[in-house]
Amino acid sequence: MTKIYVGNLPTATNEGQLQTMFGAHGAIEDVTIITDRSTGQSRGFAFVNMPSNDEARAAITSLDGSMIGDNRLKVDEARPERNKALRL
């Protein structure tokens, strides 16, 4: 499975839109739009999990730099999460 980072999302973007975009390239395990804890509003990025590494690479190649409204998306393989205890 490949976890994909999707950045520079318009705040109005919903999970269905991302499922449609990434679904054109293969199967999707899940989509998570990251929201602000206090306001519940999108923080402008999301993660998409795709079970096939080949399909995920195809989606990244195709969608990186694509536009949603006036926003140019940044799409890349997600980096491993850093240990939260190390953050100051």
Question: What percent of the chain stands above pLDDT 70?
Answer: 93
pLDDT band at 9; cut points 50, 70, 90: very high
Give residue 5's identity as a one-letter amino acid code: Y
The answer to whether the predicted template modeling score (pTM) of the entire model surpasses 0.85 is: yes
C-alpha distances (whole Å) from 82 to each of 52, 54, 79, 86 are: 24, 25, 9, 8
Distance separating alpha carbons of residues 72 and 14, to the nearest angstrom: 16
Domains and CATH numbers, the chain: 2-78 (3.30.70.330)
Q: Has residue 71 got a pLDDT over 60?
A: yes
**What 8-state DSSP symbol labels residue 8?**
S
Question: In this predicted structure, which of 27-31, 46-50, 78-82 has the lowest mean pLDDT?
Answer: 78-82
Q: What are the backbone angles phi and psi of residue 6, rounded to the nearest 5°?
A: -125, 110
Helix (H, G, I), strand (E, B) or coil at 84: helix
pLDDT band at 81 (very low <50, low <70, confident <90, very high): confident
